Structure 1
Amino acid sequence: MRILPSPLRHCLPLALFALLGSQAQAAEAPGVEADLVDANRYLLLYSATADERFLDRLDATGKHLQAALGQRQDAAALHALWASYEQGRQQMLAEHAARKLDQNGEMARSLKLAEPLDAYLQAHPLATPSLADDLRSRALLTARLANLQKVDGPRAEAEAANVKALDERIQQRIDALAKSDPALHDELDKRWRYLQVSQRNGQQLLYPFNAQIEAMLGKLAGA
């Protein structure tokens, strides 16, 4: 299958990444990084399922992200990053609507569109990721794997190797809540254990997995 070229393959100039690198402050505007992770997750869930409700979630996440940029020193650069992402997404959807791109093509394109946001996150890791951050990372990894398993088997195998260590860390962090917040521990542990068995043919079931992650994030936000 011929994968159509992504407009974002080389669209971000090196100067923009340099600006992002020099100006980003890890302590500023908590939530922006989470929004970037969630945005990638929703796009990859859409391309894996063709469910447009994930695009609605992506739109809402984008609005929240842009509203949160006002106090950041790297706001202009992040706005540019997001604008490029949005432009590429809209082009992908237009090509799909015109039947120039099938679902596998959308998966490959979505993975490519996610790369600039992933690059930013990798260049500016959180100093102390929270349990919520780890859950978001796990959810993104699951969505990414669902796409890679269809279009890039070798990379899927490499990504799958990251699952075990992340799952162990999440379980340890949930276990640590047993004494400090037993009720929260019990709720999160129940949902997390359910996720371990929500599989079919060795692959994670995306809808129940995403729903449980969202529920766990909601519990943590309200704790």
Structure 2
Amino acid sequence: MVAPKKNSEARIRARNEAKILKAAVDLFSRKGFDGTRIAEISQASGLPKANVYYYFETKEAIYATLIERLLAGWDRALDHIDPKREPEDALRDYIRAKMDYSRKNLVDSRFFANEMLRGGKFLSRKQKKHMQKITKEKAAVIEGWIRAGKLAPVDPNHLFMTIWASTQFYADFATVAAVTLCKSRLSARDYEEAYENIVTLILNGCLKPATAGTRQVVSTNGGS
């Protein structure tokens, strides 16, 4: 009977932690870290304040968990940038994964964007190093495709930042996008059309044969 009890406890923990994180990310995205109180998270989650502290010792622990969760989602999307794949398929799937993540996790995306606008002071040194490491690894894949003649010479870091900016826009500035499209809110079809346009723009820029006078790619590993 021990195993069923442990399973039940694990389910309760997972359910309550999910409630806390859902409430917290909404509050943090709107009010920031300093403007959000544990009492508000408790009220929004429907759990007693003591329960919030039972699962998360501090407000900082909740905040750090939310950042870790978002970075993990972005890491999964980056799995598509694989040297064994063809760049066109890999980039299509990567952009799809980023768009889907933005659409399904609007509040999480805005939470992280607001954290960056506030200077990213809660982004730990470990998290920064992880972001740098994985970006460097995936930039090396882009460079490999360029050397193989499969991509036009582009700077991998700026390619990634262009993809991040374009896909995140529809989450972080959904209101602006909706107003531009003369709608009250974005629909699933709007996200699909955005995906198709972003893919077209990115691939047209990357898959074209290099033309005379094109700037050579700057290696992210210190080479030329």
Over alpha carbons, which structure has the higher Rg?
Answer: 2
TM-score, L = length of structure 2: 0.30
TM-score, with structure 1 as normaliser: 0.31
Larger relative contact order, structure 1 or 2 (CA cutoff 8 Å, min sep 6): 1
